[in-house]
Chain A
């Protein structure tokens, strides 16, 4: 009897069993991933509301719904929340936490308790950031440039400390993942059989561990400058305000790769499954993640071309920035090549993955404009930059997240969602995104600076168009919230492998049990063996083209 009961216990999905307390004290990487998912999505909502407020204010010149000081706080918080509380953590900590161990054939991460600690550290930092909202917020921009951030009233210290704390969540998760990938791989899982999502998370974890301490120290120094007047950044005390920019961007440039590289990992997974075809250039894509991580550390000064830094520095950073285009282009080439002679299945996750390629290509190409020194002099600090980074971060990372969310949704929750509403929502978000941000390239190029509460009349039409686009995006997300919530509550039960994916995580139960696998799997091939016919005796026949 006891044996049967234990056996039944063993087959429960990770979602069942225990109340709130068992969730809050869980050591299960899947539950931690889900908690991260809901926390980051909550942050996305707050950041999204702030975005809508910005676009309403900018619908017409002059005062529309708020004054300049409020506007400055709104755009600051929009950036800080979206970057630190959504874009950086979401794919690694939510989807990564859930799927990394399973993709390795493991029961959990290397350090489950540390994993839970990472989550609570993240929540602690987030609570502090939201507390600062009540305290009046900050108006420095998410970049906290000195001397303005030293002088301005507002809860600068609260927010810098929040960033400091959240940084540790990032460092510890990165550490955990690196050890997990090195040490907990199932037998037969050689590095060249790893899913590309794992390669991506691995490269990201290295960046997280090496770069995040720099922003931590920078935030501490800024706090010390405000409180103790140590004179490191404040020119009135003999400090150098541009030094802050170097410290800040030394982390924040690699940070954009923390954001995008996991997203690229998701795209590699989704494109393969829905093309029913082996990914093109597996090794090129795998190693390009490491290449991007490495070069990403060398190019921070491209945020500072007109800061007054030397022409030699500018020359060096411009050159190094160009280099990162190559590993990036390798990925885009291979993703597109994967579709060649595939069997393309246009499900919601696939639509998001294709939207990624479309939008990220635009974002990446416009980065080349900004990396070219003479053109950057004109374009920097204008809406051209705003458009560029939204194309790569939202058009890139957000689309990748939505692709991963919709791809893995059945596995995580055991439910299906409405494919019809998924596509409607996708169309609104994809089209709405282009309406919002394409015009901003033009606005920037004809001279509209960024972080502008008010603007001259000639920029009105462009701003109206942009704001209308934001309403399309908003509607798309509202529809998504409705159909995904419906799926959780009343959705059709998902089959074990609705997409017929050959990746290891789909061999678990749907949703997975506590220990993921009944027995440790033995891996004999990579997860991309589509278009291959087994003829027995382990022999594979492929139709080589």
Chain B
């Protein structure tokens, strides 16, 4: 009920929005009462106790109101602790991404938002997601700080170059919603806008399937390996199908050579990762990467860490900081030799090796 009274002036489009708005309303009501109480008293006093011409200095000698003061402060403390606790409980829900969410990679840069689905589909300044499903954005930046903000969902997260940050939501309505950059990033900070489109799950499925079929049928450029597997030959002249102009693609999209997982698989061999790490479970110089994602591992020194996107990224660029127990510090660093996109692909590939 209070949620309706002083709701934020925006629709509630995510599962967390009503709860955030309820705390906002509570804050608003308490603030209003405090303000009216204080300023009401103030205005009453300055009117009621207006300086009189005859007795300008006649006032009682009051050193304080300790009982009332203590009561007000205790009450105020309790209320601020309620604000704190409620804010913390909802914040944990906002911050902790649920498992098995639909993942989309997001890259912020001066001055646009790039989206990439796990099937390799890329979009610029626009992203489509299904209603009623947990969606998780894995976000990075290729230059400076930005911040991904969807007001109608009540979510926001800074994107930091050099790390992955996460943002999740579950949309409760279909429609088109505004995305802003909320961390100052230069000339076109206010122009770094994107659209988040929420569609019915069936519509989303069809939308992705259409694109995937087009890709497989060679209507969009695809990797040689995939074409060979499916038995569809590239163009008869043997020219790389990358030269084929993609048919039926929407202006907001660009097409990928392959999905991030496929690109990662290729890089894993090309960059020599497979010299020290297997994907079959067999231990070599380095630990096997099969099934490690999402698990906790033990490091030299006894500390435990979670193998998430950030751990994999960190190990690639700074390998000897968190060495797995039982292994030697032998991994070379790939800082400077792998682009952000290549690292993203390797992360996607390692994730696909099972959890």
Contacts and interface: CB of A to CB of B under 8 A. Distances in A.
Interface of A: 68-69, 72, 139, 141, 145-148, 151-152, 235-236, 238, 240-242, 275-278, 280-282, 284, 306-308, 311, 314-315, 318-319, 322-323, 325-326, 329-330, 332-334, 336-337, 339-346, 354, 357-358, 361-362, 365-366, 368-369, 371-378, 380-382, 442, 445-447, 449-456, 500, 530-532, 542-545
Interface stretch (B81-89, B198-206, B208-216): B81-89
Contact of A278 (B56, B63, B149, B151): B63
B186 A340 contact: no
Nearest to B76: A329
B64 A325 contact: no
Nearest to A69: B187
B42 A358 contact: yes
Given A344-B51, A375-B23, A377-B91, A530 B59 contact: yes
Contacts of B191: 68, 454
Contacts of A454: 190-191
B64 A280 contact: yes
Given A238-B317, A358-B39, A373-B90, 6 more contacts: A339-B45, A342-B49, A372-B83, A374-B93, A449-B149, A531-B59
Interface of B: 8-10, 16, 19-20, 23-24, 27, 31, 34-35, 38-39, 41-42, 45-46, 49-52, 55-66, 68-69, 72-73, 76-77, 80-81, 83-84, 86-95, 143-145, 147, 149, 151-152, 154-158, 160-163, 165, 178, 180-191, 193, 317-318, 335
Contacts of B35: 361-362, 365
B59 A447 contact: no
A68 B188 contact: yes
B162 A280 contact: no
A325 B39 contact: no
Given A343-B49, A369-B27, A454-B191, A322 B84 contact: yes
14 contacts: A147-B145, A308-B165, A322-B84, A323-B80, A337-B65, A343-B51, A361-B39, A369-B24, A374-B93, A378-B151, A381-B149, A530-B57, A531-B58, A544-B62
B117 to A, nearest CB: 23
A452 B190 contact: yes
A281 B69 contact: yes
B335 to A, nearest CB: 7
B80 A325 contact: yes
A380 B148 CA distance: 12
A278 B55 CA distance: 16
Contacts of A346: 46, 50-51
Contacts of B190: 68, 449, 451-455
B84 A319 contact: yes
Contacts of A322: 80-81, 83-84
Contacts of B186: 72, 139, 148, 152
Given A329-B73, A343-B51, A148 B144 contact: yes
A236 B162 CA distance: 8
The 3 closest A-B pairs by CB, nearest first: A542-B61, A447-B151, A235-B162
Contacts of B317: 238
B322 to A, nearest CB: 15
Nearest to B159: A308
A445 B45 contact: no
A28 B152 CA distance: 59
A343 B62 contact: no
Contact of B62 (A380, A449, A545): A545
A376 B87 contact: yes
A408 B49 CA distance: 24
Contact of B189 (A278, A446, A451): A451
Nearest to A376: B87
Contacts of A344: 45-46, 49-51
A375 B87 contact: yes
A447 B56 contact: no
A151 B141 CA distance: 15
Contacts of B156: 306, 377-378, 380-381
Contact of A281 (B20, B42, B64, B155): B64
Contacts of A323: 80
A314 B91 CA distance: 9
Nearest to B75: A329
A450 B185 CA distance: 11
A343 B48 CA distance: 9
A72 B157 CA distance: 22
Contact of A445 (B8, B49, B77, B184): B8
